[in-house]
Each structure stands twice: as structure tokens, then as C-alpha cells.
A and B are shown apart, each in its own frame.
Chain A
Amino acid sequence: MSLNKLIQYLLIITVLAVVPLVVRSDYVLHILVTIAIYGILVLGLEIILGQAGLFSLGHAAFYGMGAYTSALLVMKLGFPLWLAAIGAMIMTAIFGAALGFPVLRLRGDYLAIATLGFGEIFRLILTNWDTLTHGPMGLPGIPRPHLFGATPFNRVEYYYFIVFFFLVSLFLVYRISGSFLGRAFRALRDDDDAAEFMGINTTKYKILAFALGGVFAGLAGSFYAHYITFISPDTFTYLDSEMMLAMVFLGGAGTVIGPVIGTIVLLLFPEVFRFLLEWRMLVVGVVMVVVMIYRPQGIWSADVHWPKFKRRSLALAEPRK
């Protein structure tokens, strides 16, 4: 890592660390926490959808599974919180892999429908398995985390916590994307016959993509449950899967940072336009349509060159034709 890059990273971390000291509003912190939660979620989907090209419409189910697993482990079995969060991640990884198996032969639209079905089955299980999940009434009163002492987390502590996990997730996904694993995923996405011919075990990598994506969703879900302290089946609906899908595509699938930008845009716009009441989502819809017309590859995609950089990099990198 060059010194220059190190400075840049430190700068970002400093900015993120200073935010709660400057911004005293709980609301702003809450929105930033929400962005970080969704950021982690969408990074998971980025592995499944952006890198490996597996069209998943069931990501909210992994999110919900993480939330419920973590909440139930703490409330029913008295697990410590950190252990419950790990439990949630293991659970979602197992179910991610389990979902990977039956859908191996499916591609594109068919895969989307199968994962959609998985999401609905999960929601129906939450609704109907009363004795475990408390049914549609949801789980109120999930304990908040404590750190060195008796007082539960306040919003600033939540913020630092989730921003830390978000940065770790971002780093991990970035590393995965640049490793053999990421290249194997992208080979699968572009042409899985060719990938298999090149010696990539498609079965293994497809399952791995779902399992990895599930782990991130499990982490986000676990955090959400202990942050909001109430979860119910209608917190994790098909609409949320759709929203995450939109975040990935709007930001730019396959670019790691793109989906995070998509998340920021799609979470901030509805908040900023709150004063429009019922017209708000219409405006958000229009923004999405416009972006998709003018940048079908997403806001951030592999071909991004800002004008200033373009000229210089062209001059440096390749001779003009």
C-alpha cells in the first residue's frame, strides 16, 4: 500500500470517526447506522449478484434469518450477544449453501423465481411457527448490547460499532473481489461453461457465493435486531429484497463500491424528500428510471472516468489511435 493510499484511507476513517462528535442529531446518526446496515447487506448481495451473477430475490430472507437467529439465541437460550451474532452468521451461511444446492441448475429468471420462493417460504415460516418465532406479533424487547458495564448501547456506540463492521465488510469484499475467488465468481457470471472448461468447479463456487452473501446478511440482520429491539415478519419482506436488488443495480453491479453508493442514494433520497409525503417514493422512482436510462450500467461501473482523470490517464496509459 502506497503512502498516498494509506493517507486516503486514514482520512475516510477519521471523517467517519469524527461524524458523531460533530453531528449531535440522533436522527442523522440513525440514518447513517441504517446506511451502514444496508451497506453490509448489499455487500453480501454484491457477492451473489454482482460478482457471481446469481440473480437472487431472497436476500431479505437471509437478513431476517440473521435477525431472528440472533434474537432467539439471546432471548430463549441466553447466549451472549457476540456469540449470537456469530451463530446468526453461521446459520445464514448454512442456509445460503442449502439454497445454493437446489438452484444450481437454474439461471437468470428461473433462479430469480426460485429465490423469490425461498423468501416467501421463510416469511410464512416466521408467520406460522408461533411457538418459536411468536408468529406475526413479532419479537418485542430484544436486549441491547452492553460493552464494559451496565448501560446499554447509546446511538453513538451503535454508530461506531456498525461503521467498524461496515468497513471490515467493505475491506473483505474488496479483497474477495480481487482474489482468485472473485475472478472465479466473475468467470461464472460471464460464461459458466467457459469457466468450467478453465477448471473452475462451478458447483463449489456457486454454493460458496450464496454462503458468503448469507454471512454478510446474517451480520446485518443480527445488528438490526439488537438495534431496533423489535422484529416481525413484515420487517423482512419481498419488497426489501427488491430494494436491495435496486441498490446493487443502481450503484453498479460487480464493482463492490457501486452497490454501496446505490445504498446511500436509495436510503438518503427518501429521507431528504420526506416533506413530499406520499409523493416521495414517486420522486425516488423517477430518479431510478432516469439513472437507468442514462447509466444502465449503474452510477459507478467499471468504465467510470471523470473528465479530468480521463484525459490524464489516457495520455499516461495508452497512445491515441
Chain B
Amino acid sequence: MINMKSKALIFVILAVMLSSTLVLAGCSGKSNSGTSSGQTIKIGWVAPLTGACANDGQQMLNGAKLAVKEINASGGISGKQIELSPQDDKSDPKEAANIATKFTADSSITAVLGNYNSSCVLSEAPIFEQAKLPVIHVGTSPVISQQNFQYLFRISVTDAFQSGIVTQWLFDEGHKNVGIIYENDDYGRGIKDAVTSDMASLGGKVAGGWSYELGQTKDYTSLLTSAKNAGSDSLFIAGLYTEGALIAKQMPTVGLDVPVYGTDGLYEKSLITLGGSAVEGFHVSGLFTPNDTRPNIKSFIDAYKTAYNDTPGTYAALDYDAMKLLAKTIAAVGTDHDKLQAALSSMTTPYEGVTGSITFDQHHDAKRPSMEKLTVKDGQWVLYQK
């Protein structure tokens, strides 16, 4: 009887293992046969569509899809249509590694529009690097630049660059003792460190730094009380919009009434929806405003509104730019991975996108001349005027 059972057991393992391998091999075999010499140019897309960062991920997908639609409508790239192959990484570095190998094993993928979370970027980077597949991502961590990956390109701004601009801004407004409330992860800490060092070099002081856990901390009164007791004359929130709105709502309860500054993590329509009148007067850096009147930006915003019935956020604009930039480069040098990499890393004339003009520096980070200064006025994001 034991023998019977172990037979059944072995049979099941074998069946499962074999069929799974066959199914998987079948899937990838199919995509391998359709090489990039076919009728379409395939671009991989990966970011979170579920989990805590799903909102920005969905925006990125919308932005990329809109760009693809426009390119295809105008005849594609030298007659070839672009096909987006989206994948959901759940903000999980393990999942991201799975997706990266899936993309690299598929020879029809020309390039990849990459991850939102820096930890996912870092877990995928060695895989893309080994397969020599060019990736344009929107991660923000400074660690990515330190690693000097050759095939990775960052289209978003680094935390250090942004915090430099905002710190200068708040210093110019006459605030010399800033309290920093930061998210306890690579994003928040990166900004906190940058603000601290920038403030020191400008001659100001940092009243203190207080951290919270993303998605877990709901009560900020103790953080805000310590910020008040430390004599902060302004607050810097190094975090995302949901937390920003919560902090803004809880500030009056401890009697803290100081101007609030932040980076583009706060710059999101949802900040106003969630925070209401409490977020009035927030000072935030951004790449892009939805009420910009310059023609190329306006046409993007209008097209986005018609397609998705929603105002685009920064990440929608970033992936729109990334896709357009990629298409432009492919049109110039073809689908060869190495030529694409070379063309992207040695861009001489900046690409004029909806998020400003872009070239890549020696670390493959987007070099941008400046950022927009934005504020909330009457429940709307507007350009800041003194």
C-alpha cells in the first residue's frame, strides 16, 4: 500500500513538473518565434498595478498607452506598430525579478519601461544588465546612480535634485529652522539626508527629523508635537500624498501652524481630495502642472482627459515622455539593444517632453534644468507666485 501511494505521489510530481515546464516553455516559445523583425515593435512595461502604489502605476500605464496610441495613429515607427506588453510587479522585488527574466527571455522585446519602486529597479537591474536590455525607469533612489548600470536610464528626477530645489526655495522664503517628517524607507530617508545637508550648506538649521511607517502610521500628533516643541518654523514632508494629507489634517490639532514644503511625492490630485482645505498653501516641487498652457503640454493633457476622463499626474507624464523618447530613439537607430543604449546615453540635443527637456548624465539620470514650483490655492494646483 505504501508503494502504491508513493507511486501515485511520484506520478503527481512528475505530471505537475512536466506539464508546468511544457506550459511555460510553450508560452515563451511562442513569443520567441515572433522576433522583432515582425510587424510590431514590442515594448515591455512593468510597474505596480496592485498594492499600495497601484494609483501611480495605473497612471504610468495610462501615460504609456496614450503615447503608444498616438505613435501608432501617426503610422508607427517606420511603418511598424508599437505593442505594449504590461506586467504587474505588485511593488515586490521578487516579483520584479520574475518579470525581468520573462522580458529578457523574450527576444521580441526591444526595450522596457520600468519600475516605480526603487527596490524593484535594483532587483531587476542585474538581470537587464546581463541581457543587455535597455530600460527607462522612474525610480528615485540615489543608490541606483551609485551602481552605474549601463542599460538603466532614469527619466524621473533624483530625490537629491528635487530636495535641493525645494530646500533653496524654503530658505529663500525666510525659513531657517525646518522640521522634517519622513517616510521610513529609501525614498523618505534619501530626501531627509539631502535636505539636511543642503540646509547646512545654506546656513540654516534642521529642527529635527521624525519618521513614520508608510501605510501603517495614521496618528501623527506625537510627531507634530515634537516638531512644534523643537521650534520648527516650517515643515518638510518627505513622503507621499496620502500621508501628506493626514499630516495636514492633524497639524491644527496640536496647534502647529507653519508652512509645509515637499517634493513631487505630494504632488497629486488626491492630496487635495483627501486633505481638503487643510492642504491649502502646500509648497511642492513638480515636473508638470495640469493647467500648463504651453501647446505640447496642453495637447497631452487634453488627449489624456479624453482618453481616461481624468487629469494626468506626474507619473502619467513621465511614462508618456519615456515612451515617446524611446520611440524617437528607435526610429533613429533601430531596434538593436546596444545601439539603443548608445543612442540614449549619448544624447546631445535634449528631448523636449511634457515634463521638460531631458538628457542623461554619466550615471544615466535625467538631467533637467529646473522644476516647477507649485502650491495649492482654492483647492487647485497652481504655479507658485510670490
Contact = CB atoms under 8 A, between A and B. Distances in A.
Interface of A: 2, 4-5, 8, 11-12, 15-16, 19, 23, 25-28, 30-32, 34, 127-128, 135-138, 140-141, 228-232, 234-235, 239-240, 257, 260-261, 264-265, 268, 271-272, 274, 277-278, 280-281, 300, 304-306, 309, 312-313, 316-317
Given A4-B3, A232-B119, A136 B189 contact: yes
- Consensus secondary structure, chain A interface: helix
B122 A274 contact: no
A286 to B, nearest CB: 15
Contact of A306 (B8, B24, B54, B185): B8
Given A32-B21, A230-B123, A26 B88 contact: no
Given A257-B9, A306-B8, A25 B24 contact: yes
B304 to A, nearest CB: 20
Contacts of B143: 137-138, 140
B185 to A, nearest CB: 4
Contacts of B9: 257, 300, 304
A26 B105 contact: yes
Contacts of B21: 19, 23, 28, 32
Most buried by B among A31, A231, A234: A234
Contacts of B13: 12, 257, 260-261
Among all A-B residue pairs, the 4 with the closest Cβ atoms: A27-B105, A30-B101, A136-B185, A278-B49
Contact of B25 (A28, A268, A281): A28
Most buried by A among B119, B141, B190: B119
A127 B16 contact: no
A295 to B, nearest CB: 14
A300 B119 CA distance: 36
A45 B4 CA distance: 27
B189 A12 contact: no
- Consensus secondary structure, chain B interface: helix
Contact of B12 (A19, A23, A261): A261
B20 A309 contact: no
Interface string B101-136: 110111000000000011100110110000100000
Contacts of A19: 21
Interface in B11-44: 12-14, 16-18, 20-21, 23-25, 27-29, 32
Interface of B: 1, 3-10, 12-14, 16-18, 20-21, 23-25, 27-29, 32, 49-50, 54, 86-88, 90-94, 97-98, 101-102, 104-106, 117-119, 122-123, 125-126, 131, 141, 143, 147, 184-186, 189-190
Contact of A8 (B7, B49, B105, B125): B7
Given A23-B24, A27-B102, A277-B88, 12 more contacts: A25-B105, A30-B98, A137-B143, A230-B93, A232-B122, A234-B91, A235-B119, A239-B92, A261-B16, A264-B16, A304-B8, A309-B7
A240 B49 CA distance: 19
Given A12-B14, A278-B50, A278-B88, A138 B122 contact: yes
B186 A137 contact: yes
A136 B184 contact: yes
Contact of B17 (A15, A135, A137): A15
Contacts, number: 156
Contacts of B49: 277-278
Nearest to A302: B5
Given A127-B184, A277-B49, A27 B93 contact: no
Contacts of A316: 1
14 contacts: A5-B6, A11-B14, A27-B28, A30-B105, A137-B143, A234-B93, A234-B117, A234-B119, A240-B94, A257-B9, A260-B13, A264-B17, A278-B54, A317-B1
A312 B1 CA distance: 9
A171 B5 CA distance: 17
Most buried by B among A4, A8, A34: A8
Contacts of B102: 27, 274
Contacts of A305: 5, 8
A265 B15 CA distance: 12
Contacts of A137: 118, 141, 143, 186, 189-190
B24 A31 contact: yes
Nearest to A19: B21
Contacts of A274: 87, 102
Contact of A28 (B16, B24, B118): B24
Nearest to B141: A137
A34 B8 contact: no
Contacts of B126: 228-230
Nearest to B94: A235
Contacts of A265: 16
Contacts of B186: 135-138, 232
B123 A228 contact: yes
A131 B187 CA distance: 17
A26 B103 CA distance: 10
